A and B are shown apart, each in its own frame.
Chain A
Amino acid sequence: MGTMLSFKEVTKIYPGAEHIKAINELSFDLEDGEICTLVGPSGCGKSTAMKMVNRLIPMTSGKILIDGQNIDRLNTIELRRGIGYVIQNIGLFPNMTIGENIAIIPKMKGWDEGRIKERVETLLDIVNLPAEEYIDRYPRELSGGQQQRIGVARGMAIDPPVMLMDEPFGAIDPINRDHLQNEFLKIQAKLKKTIVFVTHDIDEAIKMGDKVCLLKDGKLVQFASPEKMLTEPANDFVRDFVGGDRTLKRLNLLTIRTAIRPDPPVVLETEKSATAGTIMTETGAKHLITVDSEGRLTGYIDHEALKKDGETVEQIKCETEAFLPDTSSLKDGLSEIFSHDLEFLIVLDDSKRVIGTLYTDDIKKILRG
């Protein structure tokens, strides 16, 4: 995987505002298939930096390379048609239906009708707007959030290798935004596009980005992976910007798998109750996880349960909800531990087999690094 997009000392000075550099010697390299989130306070030059990539804004000096080619050498129209573009203020074409909006660039590229129709339907499906209901509507018949989703679908229409997205989920409610972000990451995992993603929300930047590019007054403050930005903020500005809770934010990035304590003491539910008691005294564990013959979680046993009379473990075990798959974030894990006041959380794999436990101590250890 080579470098797909690189900024080389790019500077932008707007005519009429010569004393400020809207973008000041910005340089960074983006690998093929990475999402780079541009983040920073309002007016820091995020949109400006992004729009220089498809030459909507001409740069003052420096150069931008896409796939090793200097964009100044390319034909503007061809360059732009090869880059998906989602703008901050949505900008759907009000005179065209949703279907026509999405199909406009494919049409200009001369795709055949069937292919266009199929593509439009897939895209509407991705952004969670049923095609048969929305395809013939006009933008004005949609809510702001729905329009923004159409904007995203339109940007992806020709499946471009490079995409520019300016706050694509800005007008969408938290639930749908979360859904779209996850959906987008899922697609991205498959399609591996190189994306410049502008946002002012640091949480979104951290969630979506393979690289986070933090700008301030047109200057690059830090360009790093989200993990690194949280653990090693370059200066006080970054520290402030990512927030006092940056340690907690890292919990979002890490999965439970990273802090798992493997091979917990378990007991088959077909065993005698007495056996369970023996194991507990031997290991000194206060709780014992019960599993079925496949190793799947069925419940747990504590000292209280042992006092109950019953032949087998199955008869005395208690039900539990304190489990999560190992792909969940540490934040969810911690939240689960706190909300049920647990000592530990049971961690399962995809097929619900018990693979370990999660203790707060281990989380602390991970965060300390």
Chain B
Amino acid sequence: MTLLIGALTLGIILSLLALGVYISYRIFDIADITVDGSITFGAAVSSVLLVQMGVHPLWATLAGFLAGAIAGTVSGILQTHFKINPLLSGILVMTGLYSVNLHVMGRSNIPFLGTVTLSTYCEKIGNIVFGGNEILLMGWTVSTTDLMTLILMFLLVSSISLVLWLFFHTDLGTAMRASGDNPQMIRALGGNVEYYKIFGLALSNGLVGLAGALWAQYQNFADVQMGIGMVVWGLASVIIGEALAGTASVVTAIIGTIIGSILFRQLVAIALSFGLNPNDLKLITALFVFAALILPNMLSKLSVGKRKVAL
């Protein structure tokens, strides 16, 4: 049960990463590798603020968002202003961020021992709300800290999703969606596609940075390696979400992405508990996304082939 709650919580936290990837990959049609750097950047900035400067966890978490947003802005400017290929822009920013993160953190790993973080608050609130350290849930003994963390993260992600959904139905958000769908059209209607792209990547990586800040506080340390391969993780979540919920509207896409992230984390947890070597995790994630990318094509080819035979 503790395992399940843990996987759920991490899945929910990382759904912010998945939502960020959804924005860059689905709305703007960019495979944005900046994500690998910005998730660590968000974790690095917030952890230094927490551990070394004693900043309130809320502000430190918000700083994680801003850090990611800055990384995304740089990527966006490379793409629009300097006309660098999106993939390459992402690689450049991600690579540069590796050094930046090391500088910010001062070393490759920052443990949060005894630091006041959001987890500390979750513990306090859990104790007050449930009146103790542990409660019985469906016959299982569960730590109230874990339960409260899950509940609060769920509420946080839900409200962020709501705000995102609202945003993508404003004039600005609609124009941003259109600039991914048909840039020629939105230009002819007076939209500044370059500006939308920068803004979109800032928002996307901001969410990723926020995920990084929350993730670090949840696992109680920040590590300079924690971002490696996370963009693929995000893609996997987006793809699972689309398979389950479809792409009909922004709502279904957002909800699908969150469910995708949770499910994917759940699958990973199950695989690990059945003895999957953690070292193989990235390879398996990559293979999974590979399969998800080529399957639709192969299926349609298969059905075309069948039709030919039928004729």
Q: Are A and B part of the same complex?
A: no
